Structure 1
Amino acid sequence: MSNKDLLNLIEQKRLELIQVAMKNGLASSTAIKYSQELDHLLNEYHRKLSQKIPTH
């Protein structure tokens, strides 16, 4: 999956989380599930970026 595709998924999940949280509250099980999915996508994106950055 390309970085662009991953960023698109992150943005889509972020918007879904906002909608669910506004409807059901941040502590709802659905909002927590969406938040965890967003965290997973963000972690994956961070891992991909850190592999490309040379370390000293």
Structure 2
Amino acid sequence: RGEHAILQGDSEIAEVWFDQAAEYWKQAIALTPGNYIEAQNWLKITKHFDFE
């Protein structure tokens, strides 16, 4: 949805969607550390990663 919002020219809404996605990924990673390597990389690249 974030990418769709960007295509529609609404960067503010896109950021909200990306923040929500980051929260969901953090929860998934906390439940199964070592999985979701690509999601962990995305969190680091987008500066949403706040735990070691």
Q: Given the two structures, how large is their TM-score scaled by the length of structure 2?
A: 0.55
Is 1:36 paired with 2:19?
yes
Query: What number of residue pairs does the alignment pair up?
Result: 33
Q: Over aligned residue pairs, what C-alpha RMSD do you find?
A: 1.2
Aligned residues with identical type, % of pairs: 6
Is 1:46 paired with 2:29?
yes
Q: Work out which of the two has the higher radius of gyration on C-alpha atoms and give 1 or 2.
A: 1
- Which structure has the highest helix share of the two? 1
Which ranges in structure 2 are unaligned for 5 or more consecutive residues? Answer: 34-52
Which ranges in structure 1 are unaligned for 5 or more consecutive residues? Answer: 1-15, 51-56
Higher relative contact order structure (alpha carbons within 8 Å, sequence separation ≥ 6): 1
Q: Given the two structures, how large is their TM-score scaled by the length of structure 1?
A: 0.52
